[in-house]
Structure 1
């Protein structure tokens, strides 16, 4: 901005200088013209006076020589008037001159002062005199003297006096102009500074705004046009800041939406470069946005089916839908939708591809199908048994009372198993849909396990299985006592069912502090020395209807839903369950529960 101030100052100085110079030249010309005009009038008056005083004789006719009186008279008048005096006859011949020989002078009839002179108005001219070698003022007038002379008298005066006066005037005026120029320079600089300083401030503010500093403001200024410009800049900055804040809020909102979407998004622009990858797409495809954004989509070449779908979408530029199987590294089933991106003018800007991982949905659908099939199978078996034995009895084919009684016992057992199966299915359905309400209350753990042992006492004594309790006497836990009893009856009951005769089951309870949950917890361990569980079956042991030994499970009267119900009830209590087992050695089911439940 300082060069602009310097240029403005220079322009102002030039304007002042040109103005002062023009004024000086004008004044010099006026001074010179005025002085010359005054001399002309003065010399004209002198000629009028001389005409009245002169008594020059008439020139003899036909004589080529001029009387000496004209030369003498010219010299005498020159001394009186302090000017050069010249006498010219009517034919323009010089007959007397106060400074030169008349015979050596040219004819003066065509001289401007002679030619333009009138009896009532002297003629005058200013020209360079070749005779004297300087500028001269000539004033001439026709005269007729009392002595009979009829011709012209011309007075001439050197303009050296005028030039000297003009030169002195130039010196005085030049000095004044220098002083005036210096004053004008100082005033111009201050004026330029006063004009440019607010403009500099406005430009600096505008530059800061252009560099994304939207807090920059011009601030209060003077009330002229520059002040109005500063106010306009501030208003523009306020509007721009509000718009940018809105844009940033919208961008933040959009980014949050993109980051928290359950589906993945990949945007490919019209140059076939990846423009956007959201967080879910990165997770689903195992890629990083900073490595793929701005690069061609073909760099996703390890996903052959995906790149082929993207290529087809970019070629067709229409909505598309498909299901693909990707391995990243595990197998994932995804639905893929391609949508062309257009703006208001309907111009094409690339394709937007939306991913949705439906692996869990398909797995749940398979689980549901398997569950329906298992339920149907489990229900069909006791129903078939009841129906078969009942038909046999109804047909009267059994005459032996003991055989009939065994048939009725089978029908009763199968009906009881069917009833328990239906109850477990309904119970599991309520638990999974979270339609059950837990009634939390303090539970004395030792009393709880004593009641569990009493329930299973008959089955344990039948197989001569010892149930040992290793439970602190003063331990209480906040839980739903009925559901807690259901959990441990299932776990201990499984131990009784799969432990050979003469075995033992140990129930151990201990408190511990868990840093992960930041609360006190209780670990319940159900340890048996039964047949154990193969390692390949451990990951699926808590699935519905999953049995390690299907034949033995049915013979023991199990429904295949007990452990699944136990797992869901433990999770409803904010706990966890795990199992460790070794074939031929035994199994250990561990349940961890918090001492206190969170307030709902």
Structure 2
């Protein structure tokens, strides 16, 4: 801004200088002309005075030249001016400074012609005789024996000297005035540019996104109004920017926390936006795909097909496709057309929802209904069949009692099945209330072993328990009893005669999870094939259906166990080898939270 201030000061000073010089020249011209006019008027008065006082003889003896030359010299002393007498025909008959015989005819001189035409003649010209500018004034005189012109001439040197002195005085005054004007103009320029510098600096800061910058000026003029306008603009920009930032933060938070994926594409198929949920579903990073074409997602053939169809159709649609990267999943695509304010096509917005778990649960529900129907149908068919036989009449009492025993066993099996179904439903619907209390594990498992020992002795199975006597945990005793009753019953049922079942408890300390208890139920039974291990905790899943049915199992025990362990904030896993037995490991916190 300082160069602008200097330029403004220079312009003002230049204008002032030009104005002063113009005024000086005008004043000098007026001064000079005034003095010339004043000198001309004095010379006219002197000519009139000469005409009134000089004696003009009538003789024509040829001595006019001597007479008028002598008179002109006398008059020059009195008038302090060159005096010239000129005859009507233009010949000089007397001059105070030069012999008339040596002088040219003056009839064509400017002042003589003007005097003849107007009565008074004036002219200024360079005199070659005297070598300087002269002013000439002439008037026609006809008196006595003289008929011609009396001309006075004076040097303009005195006038020029006066003008020079005037210029000196005026120049000194103009110089002083110029200096004063320069100082004043600099102050004025500074007064104008200094607030403009502040305004410019604030505007520059605002352009650099510093919306806190303000102009601090206490002025009521146009510059003050400009400063107020700049401050108002900054306030408005700051408010709008804060609103934009709030909305942007809200939108970013919404997009980041959405469980559904968002994929936005422009009209030419360029990826404009992708949120974290979509990144997880598609196994990509936003930085790798944003700004690039959707066709770069080469590993997603089905996704590319959906996007291509959406961009071609340009209408709302819903579809489900199976994706196989990064994991196999079922994704539901909701495509929405995006348009500009004028209604022109802008691109497509795809909402991605992972419905893999939903479809799995639907499949499980269907399988559950089918399995329940099948499991209920089998004992009901047996009960109905033997009941019908008994109603038809059976004479043999032994056969009748056998049929009644079968009906009783099947009804018990049906009762267990219904009980397990209700228990599992209650657990999965979160309606199972947990009642935590301290449990002495040694006493707890001793009572459990007493319940299991009769059945184990029938198969000559050795049961062993290794539980620290001082160990307590916090848990729901009834549900823990249900967990280990299922595990120990399975261990006894699927272990051949003469085998062994062992229960061990260990205490561990984890930096991440705190104090925990590891409970292991290990048997030497038939084991579980590796292909079946991932599914053994599913409802109604049986490794050996014939053996399970023969042992009276419902296929729901391990599913119930898994849910009850999770209700205790624990984990369960299994390790098994066919023919070598199985090992179920449960890890539970020593103290329950909440």
TM-score, normalised relative to structure 2: 0.93
| 2:66 matches 1:68 | yes
- 1-side partners of 2:29 and 2:59: how far apart? 42
CA 1:64–1:344 in structure 2 vs 1: closer, same or farther (change >3 Å)? farther
- 2-side partners of 1:206 and 1:411: how far apart? 95
What do residues 192-243 of structure 1 show as CA deviations (whole Å, max 9, x unaligned)? 2332222122212211211212222223444432233223212211221121
Does the 8 A contact of 2:121 with 2:139 survive in 1? yes
Does the 8 A contact of 1:58 with 1:148 survive in 2? yes
**Alignment partner of 2:285 out of 285, 288, 305:** 288
Q: What's the CA shift for 1:9? A: 1.7
- 2-side partners of 1:133 and 1:286: how far apart? 110
Residues 150-549 of structure 1 mapped to structure 2, 5 A cutoff: 150-396=147-393, 398-517=394-513, 519-549=514-544
Q: What's the CA shift for 1:375? A: 1.0
Does the 8 A contact of 1:91 with 1:109 survive in 2? no
Structure 2, unaligned stretches of length 5 or more?
A: none
Task: Identify the residue that residue 582 of structure 1 maps to in structure 2.
Answer: 577
Count of aligned pairs between the two proteins? 593
Task: Identify the residue that residue 9 of structure 2 maps to in structure 1.
Answer: 9
- 1-side partners of 2:111 and 2:474: how far apart? 138
What do residues 239-268 of structure 1 show as CA deviations (whole Å, max 9, x unaligned)? 211211111111111112222222222222
CA 1:115–1:379 in structure 2 vs 1: closer, same or farther (change >3 Å)? same
Q: What's the CA shift for 1:181? A: 2.9
What do residues 44-75 of structure 1 show as CA deviations (whole Å, max 9, x unaligned)? 32223222211123585xx9995432222222
Q: What's the CA shift for 1:154? A: 2.0
Task: Identify the residue that residue 564 of structure 1 maps to in structure 2.
Answer: 559
Does the 8 A contact of 1:142 with 1:151 survive in 2? yes
What do residues 366-399 of structure 1 show as CA deviations (whole Å, max 9, x unaligned)? 1111111111111111111111111111111x22
Q: Give the secondary-structure state (helix, strand or coil) at the position aligned to 1:456.
A: helix
Does the 8 A contact of 2:300 with 2:325 survive in 1? no
Does the 8 A contact of 2:281 with 2:326 survive in 1? no
Does the 8 A contact of 2:111 with 2:137 survive in 1? no
- 1-side partners of 2:149 and 2:544: how far apart? 161
RMSD: 2.4
Moved more, 174-183 or 564-573: 174-183
- 1-side partners of 2:274 and 2:494: how far apart? 53
Structure 1, unaligned stretches of length 5 or more?
A: none
Q: What's the CA shift for 1:152? A: 2.9
Q: What's the CA shift for 1:96? A: 2.8
TM-score, normalised relative to structure 1: 0.92
- 1-side partners of 2:158 and 2:299: how far apart? 107
Q: Give the secondary-structure state (helix, strand or coil) at the position aligned to 2:583.
A: strand
